[in-house]
Structure 1
Amino acid sequence: MKNVNGKLLKRLIILSGMSNRQLAKRIHITPNTLSNIILGNTYPSYVVIARLQVALEISIEDMIEVFFPWPPKIAV
């Protein structure tokens, strides 16, 4: 199961100065989908991950930390 570091993603969104709604519109997903990504309920496609990186103007290292955190959380 893939995990998302939602706290870090939310912080990066805040630092970008965009609202969730503005970001979702910019990367062509619904605000609800973005919220589900942040909450870890939905794992985005690689296309959406790439769009997030470009829209948020962040490094690939930050995106790896958000979408491929190590060690991964293990559901019990």
Structure 2
Amino acid sequence: MDDRPVGTGEAYRPAKERVMSVGDKMKNAAEAAKGKLKKETGDATDNRDLQAEGQAEKTTADLKQAGEKAKDAFKD
């Protein structure tokens, strides 16, 4: 049985678990930004390969972020 007080949330989650979650979210956000930058660079230089690579990276990072949010929703 969980020994934390009823009605408590993030503050009572183990520190290691909170840090990993925040770190994963930051990593995913950075990957999404990198993908967006690549796509925009591809758009500006009319480089279809770079556009596609950037879009794929951004989409992958966005899906990872959605997974983190879903995981957090089921934890609470």
Fold-level similarity (TM above 0.5): no
TM-score scaled by structure 1?
A: 0.29
Structure with the greater alpha carbon radius of gyration = 2
Of the two structures, which has the highest relative contact order with CA contacts closer than 8 Å and spacing of 6 or more? 1
Greater helix proportion: 2
TM-score scaled by structure 2?
A: 0.29
